[in-house]
Amino acid sequence: MATANFNMGVCRKGRTAFLPLPAPFPLPKWRGRALMPRLSGDCQGVVSRDTQSRAVVSCCSGVSGRCRRRGAGAMEQCAVLLWGWLLFGCSWGPGLPGVGAAALSAATYELDDAYGLGRQFDGIGAVSGGGATSRLLVNYQEPYRSQILDYLFKPNFGASLHILKVEIGGDGQSTDGTEPSHMHYENDENYFRGYEWWLMKEAKKRNPKIKLIGLPWTFPAWIGKGENWPYDYPDVTAYYIVSWILGAKHYHDLDIDYVGIWNERAFNSKYIKVLRQSLDRLGLRNIGIIAADGDWNVSKEMIVDPYLNDAVEVVGAHYPGTKTVPNALLTKKKLWSSEDYSTFNDEVGAGCWARILNQNYVNGNMTSTIAWNLVASYYEELPFGRCGLMTAQEPWSGHYKVEAPIWITAHTTQFTQPGWSYLQVDGHLEGGGSFVALTDGLGNLTIIIETMTYNHSQCIRPPLPHFTVMPQRATFYLKGSFYMVKTLQVWHSRLDFESGSSNLFQQLHPVKVWKGSFSLDLNVDEVYTLTTLKTGQKCGYPEPPPPQPFPSNYKDDFNIRNPPFSEAPNFADQTGVFEYFINASDPGDHVFTLRQVVVQRPITWASDADQTISLIGNFKWVNMTVTCDIYIEKQRDGGVFVAGRVDNGGIYVRRTKGVFFWVFSDGTYRVTGDLGLPSRCQSHLIFV
């Protein structure tokens, strides 16, 4: 038997031990193939024979590459005598405990750029809006607010997002609340309402290259001119949207990169063309239109209408289940999952996110995936509680939590950038799961692998067809310009659904690539990133303060002359818009107030309540005392209520029940268990 020297990985500690070994020592085999043991723990590394017939064990940590025999020209797998293996306390692995490497299925995959590249990668992002999902974030005190923003946007820190998509507020309920419009009325313009302007600036401050998208869910009433429809007067609607884009630039120095049509509602071809013409006429040709932020149906019209096809830059679908349709491919446009995820941010949510980040491209040719929502910064009992990439819903305590989806995002975002290209590979692993490979065209390569199982990666929608994932060995052959790659950095996550002690975004020792190939043993529910880049980091801050319930004693007199935001802290508008208002005509103690300013029902996206409502505090069944001073502006038919022990908000607010205390302008009052009251009480209501 020829002398063999096997090279597996790079050693962290560099310890080498020599064991006397009879020559020749046999290589164990299974199904006629030599086996390769892996060394785990401190002894994960090199096993070989030297010229003096000793077993050479170089102990190190990390992921090992392939073992190749040198000398006779043939390849042999590594072996070590049982007594030597036990002496050093090493085990076969990695993989399921007790499962030897021989039990793994094995397959090979080629990564080659010699014959061209796949589609261009457009980035990973998240949505603030749809609606009021970042409402509580602005109320955090420093340093916690900046820490949360760093985890979301700062490059090579946390999620390192490439895209921020925000709601163009329209005064209507859009999931968890309402977001104010920049034009409540036709002759009214104010580009400082709400917090989306602030959020976009904070994102740009951390990542100047981040792409910004605006999308309306609702529209103020004046656009429809009496109808609950935004397309009857396309010039008016286009003017409204273009005004928001111009205001972003003029007042906040924000360049909007893309704009949408109407979230998850009907599209109108004429309006899309008018919007494109309006943008071009003002020199905004660089702003791309995304259509239609719903299903793929717009593509059917695009392939028969060249003017519509020219107007649209991105075909965006929501919750596509990683699949596209033939018509979308025929448009030759960028295909995006322009809203996805929407799942509780525990380990299963992280599994959902890991699976679709890869498989939206592998199965559907989608080059961007955008999560709803950015950060769960709204009261958790509202619809879709904790469906953000992280959780920040306690500004009164400063507590927040960096959830698992943040680090799953980092596996892609910290090692790719918009403008990179996917390699032309199938992307399906033979044992289940998927991989994508991307390059910057300058020699850098990033491979992201996921092995999420069916039970641990179900998103809230659509239904997930059953599939099987098993432990497996994957061997990758690097060809073309990647053949000379010698080492790949390795980042690893393992989602644990039993003990809850997941291992998230940990850097392992690099993989050494031997003559253009390396192997990995993949367990289930894992994510690997292998990359030529050395810039990745898992950064963090000291633990934030512990969680605390909403303060049992809370007071706000709204006495602030120059508020940083238009809304009072911790109030979450559910129907209508409540803003700070200086009542200069008041001779007493109520110059500074919170005023409901929308008096016309907007073009709705959800079933807004008939009454205007703002919510504050916990959804708790407790005894409470509420005191407030109220000014009813409509002396004949106005009114107000205060409610407690309520059970619904957001898009379900219309059917909420609780204890409602109503006061009317004529001095009468009433107590009810729901919102069903006569029309004389239509506006200026506060919901606590």
209-227 average pLDDT score = 98
Task: Write the pLDDT tens digit of every residue in 158-178.
Answer: 999 999 999 999 999 999 999
Q: Is the pLDDT of residue 235 over 60?
A: yes
How high does pLDDT run on average in the chain?
A: 86
Coil, strand or helix at 470: coil
Residues annotated as catalytic (active site), given as ranges: 264, 339
Burial class of residue 562 (count of CB atoms within 10 Å of its CB; 0-12, 13-18, 19+): exposed
Coil, strand or helix at 358: helix
Task: Count the alpha carbons within 13 Å of 617 in the hemisphere toward its beta carbon.
Answer: 22
What pLDDT is recorded for position 359?
98
What pLDDT is recorded for position 677?
66
In sequence order, what are the residues at sequence separation of 6 or more whose Cβ sits closer than 8 angstroms to the Cβ of residue 385?
Answer: 344, 376, 378, 379
**Tokens standing for residue 207:** 């990542």
What pLDDT is recorded for position 39?
34
> Confidence band (pLDDT; 50, 70, 90) for 101?
very low
What pLDDT is recorded for position 588?
87
Task: Write the pLDDT tens digit of every residue in 269-286.
Answer: 999 999 999 999 999 999
- The pTM score is 0.85
Task: Write the pLDDT tens digit of every residue in 555-600.
Answer: 999 999 999 999 999 999 999 999 999 998 888 889 999 999 999 9
Task: Write the pLDDT tens digit of every residue in 376-400.
Answer: 999 999 999 999 999 999 999 999 9
What pLDDT is recorded for position 688?
41
364-377 average pLDDT score = 98
Q: Is the pLDDT of residue 333 over 90?
A: yes
Adjacency order of strands within the sheet including 639-644: 639-644, 657-664, 669-674
**Total Cβ atoms within 10 A of residue 330:** 13
Provide, for the chain, the percentages of residues in helix, strand and coil under a 3-state DSSP scheme, each rounded to the nearest 5. 20, 25, 55
What pLDDT is recorded for position 623?
86
What pLDDT is recorded for position 676?
83
Burial pattern 96-120, b for ≥16 Cβ within 10 A else e, equals: eeeebbeebeeeebebbbeeeebee
Q: If you compute the radius of gyration of the chain from its CA atoms, what whole number of angstroms results?
A: 29
What pLDDT is recorded for position 619?
80
> Confidence band (pLDDT; 50, 70, 90) for 103?
low
Distance CA 302, CA 33 (A): 54
What pLDDT is recorded for position 638?
80
Q: Is the pLDDT of residue 9 over 80?
A: no
Q: Is the pLDDT of residue 369 over 70?
A: yes
Q: What is the DSSP code string of 116-148?
A: ---PBP-EEEEEE-SS-TTTTGGGPPTTHHHHH
Give 225-271 as a 3 state SS string. CCCCCCCCCHHHHHHHHHHHHHHHHHHHCCCCCEECCCCCCCCCHHH
